[in-house]
């Protein structure tokens, strides 16, 4: 029989996903393990592989369309069928069996009225159960509402959009919108829809900044020894070690030395991580992603460097697997290569800390009462005060500074 393809939950707790592209056309043969479509999560693009051989009978949604997890997206014909009532298949899979509608009424049931009410004669409204529940809560009428789901089905975002349009704007917001509209002539800007990654980043960072009690500690690290060691290592080396590779290694070793900072916060528990899984912020065309160097405290510098290069390249190509960017015990965000001298980063929960790294700058420093030229890198630790107090944060930052300024000690 035919198999109904549904949108998979490709990321933990995901409610929606986008079908980025179909890998096969309708009517093309499918072998077990073949890629049928590419699904975009909030962080990467993953393949939807066939679990049974057959033929792609129908594409139910178009490329680029976002649907709820579990919603039908296609039909695979697996036993040589040449035609099928796909609408009936979808109805049978998602609603009451057709046989139930065909059951005769009990003898004691009252006769059906001859004149049907107008509501019964109205066309059937296709909406997801969640959309129906939200519509009831917000007082949104489903009749006449245009759905954006498969085959015009009304889904959650349609109700949210309609409910939002029905709410009156606060006067200040309305006035601001009016001023902005008046100040910008038609054609002065282009509205670009948010990608799934952008929406997720906005939501998570907004929640983080609003709910986590951030505090910040900064330290200036002397970089002369590290830069000299890096230059010596890279002399004649096929793969060059970057300053960021040293930073990730120093972060990991400092977490091993100060395990109290290698923690995460949840509503019910404190997570004490057993190894230093360092997430490294990577900028991509669709947003920021943080691939993770697992057990960085147990890996030599050369392995860390190779892993970061590989993860960053695949992150920019949207080829990371979920397990390569989900989790982590600590994050590093380095804007030094852009010439940024200092900044503060937002914590990525449930992690409890992130280190913001600025550029190494040539500045005058005081040594033995004398002013001398020096190379200094400013780092700022953002910490969750619920999990890491000020003294513990200072202890970790002191350990990190010592390792950066004495780089040979982190390589042993």
> Residue 90, Cβ neighbours under 10 Å: how many?
20
Q: Cα–Cα distance between 219 and 400 in angstroms, integer? A: 10
CB 239 within 8 A of CB 302: yes
- Per the structure block, which two tokens stand in for 155? 């889904």
**Would you say 312 and 244 are in contact if contact means Cβ atoms under 8 Å apart?**
no
Cβ neighbours around 68 below 10 Å, total: 20
Which one of 16, 138, 214, 385 is the catalytic residue?
385
Contact 40, 113 (CB under 8 A): no
Angle, helices 224-234 vs 390-405, to 10°: value is: 50
Residue 194 annotated among the catalytic residues of the structure: no
List helix spans (H) across 129-223.
129-138, 156-166, 171-183, 196-211
- How far apart CA 385 and CA 407 sit, in angstroms, is 29
Radius of gyration over every alpha carbon of the chain, rounded to an integer in angstroms: 28
Burial of 219 per CB tally in 10 Å (0-12, 13-18, 19+)? middle
Q: How far apart are CA 62 and CA 150, in angstroms?
A: 9
Encoded tokens for 215: 């505090």
Is residue 81 classed as helix, strand or coil in its secondary structure?
coil
Cα gap 345→309, rounded to integer Å: 22
- Cα separation of the two ends of the chain: 62
Q: Is the alpha carbon torsion for 101, 104, 105, 106 positive or negative?
A: negative
Strands 278-280 and 330-334: parallel
- Give me the active site residues, please: 385
């Amino acid at each position: 029989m035919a198999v109904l393809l549904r949108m998979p939950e490709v990321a933990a707790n995901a409610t929606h996903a986008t079908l980025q592209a179909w890998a096969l056309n309708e009517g093309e043969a499918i072998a077990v393990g073949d890629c049928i479509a590419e699904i975009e999560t909030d962080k990467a693009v993953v393949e939807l592989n066939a679990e049974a051989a057959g033929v792609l009978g129908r594409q139910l949604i178009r490329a680029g369309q976002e649907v709820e997890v579990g919603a039908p997206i296609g039909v695979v014909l697996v036993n040589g069928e040449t035609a099928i009532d796909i609408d009936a298949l979808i109805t049978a899979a998602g609603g009451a069996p057709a046989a139930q509608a065909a059951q005769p009424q009990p003898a004691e049931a009252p006769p059906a009225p001859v004149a049907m009410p107008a509501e019964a004669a109205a066309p059937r409204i296709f909406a997801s159960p969640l959309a129906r529940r939200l519509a009831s809560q917000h007082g949104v009428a489903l009749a006449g509402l245009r759905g954006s789901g498969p085959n015009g089905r009304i889904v959650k975002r349609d109700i949210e959009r309609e409910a939002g349009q029905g709410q009156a704007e606060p006067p200040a917001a309305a006035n601001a919108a009016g001023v902005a509209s008046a100040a910008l002539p038609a054609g002065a800007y282009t509205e670009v829809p948010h990608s799934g990654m952008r929406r997720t980043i906005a939501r998570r960072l907004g929640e983080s900044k609003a709910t986590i009690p951030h505090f910040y500690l900064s330290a200036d690290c002397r970089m002369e020894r590290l830069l000299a060691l890096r230059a010596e290592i890279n002399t004649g080396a096929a793969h060059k070690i970057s300053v960021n590779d040293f930073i990730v290694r120093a972060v990991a070793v400092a977490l091993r030395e100060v395990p109290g900072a290698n923690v995460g916060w949840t509503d019910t528990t404190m997570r004490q991580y057993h190894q230093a899984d360092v997430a490294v912020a990577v900028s991509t065309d669709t947003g920021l992603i943080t691939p993770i160097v697992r057990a960085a405290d147990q890996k030599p510098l050369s392995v860390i460097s190779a892993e970061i290069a590989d993860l960053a390249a695949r992150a920019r190509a949207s080829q990371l697997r979920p397990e390569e960017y989900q989790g982590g015990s600590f994050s590093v965000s380095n804007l030094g290569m852009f010439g940024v001298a200092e900044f503060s980063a937002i914590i990525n929960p449930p992690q409890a800390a992130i280190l913001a790294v600025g550029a190494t700058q040539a500045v005058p420093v005081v040594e033995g009462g004398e002013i001398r030229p020096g190379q200094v890198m400013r780092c700022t630790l953002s910490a969750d005060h619920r999990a890491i107090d000020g003294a513990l944060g200072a202890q970790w930052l002191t350990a990190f500074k010592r390792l950066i300024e004495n780089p040979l000690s982190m390589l042993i």
